[in-house]
Amino acid sequence: MLRETLEMNIKRLIDFLIYSKNFLIRKNPFKSLSNSILDGLKDFLTMKKKLKMAQYRLNYHRHQLQKMEQLIAENNEHNFLKGKNLNETR
C-alpha cells in the first residue's frame, strides 16, 4: 500500500515536471522577458530621436496651417481677417 502511494506520487511528480518542461519550451518566459527588456531599452535610447521627429512634424503641420490661414485671409473680402493689412476707412 505504501509502495503504491509512493509510486503514484512519483508518477505525478514526473508528469508535473514533464508538463512544466513542455510549458517552458512552448512559452519560453525567459526569452520573452529578455525581448521586452531589450525593446524597452531601445525605446529609451531612441526617445530623443522620436521626440525630434514629432517636433518636426508638428512644426511642419503648423506651418502648413499658417499658410492655409494666410491664403484664406488674402482671398477673403473682410479686412479684419487679413491681419497685416490695416483698414484705412477707420
Question: What pLDDT score was predicted for residue 85?
Answer: 53
Q: What pLDDT does 90 receive?
A: 44
pLDDT at 51: 96
- Name the residue with higher pLDDT: 81 or 21: 21
Q: Where are the domains of the chain?
A: 48-84
Tell me the C-alpha distance between 90 and 88, whole Å. 6
71 band by pLDDT with thresholds 50, 70 and 90:
confident
Average pLDDT over residues 36-63: 96
Q: pLDDT tens across 6-40, in order?
A: 999 999 999 999 999 999 999 998 999 999 999 99
Note the pLDDT of residue 69: 86
| Cβ neighbourhood burial of 79 (10 Å; 0-12, 13-18, 19+) | middle
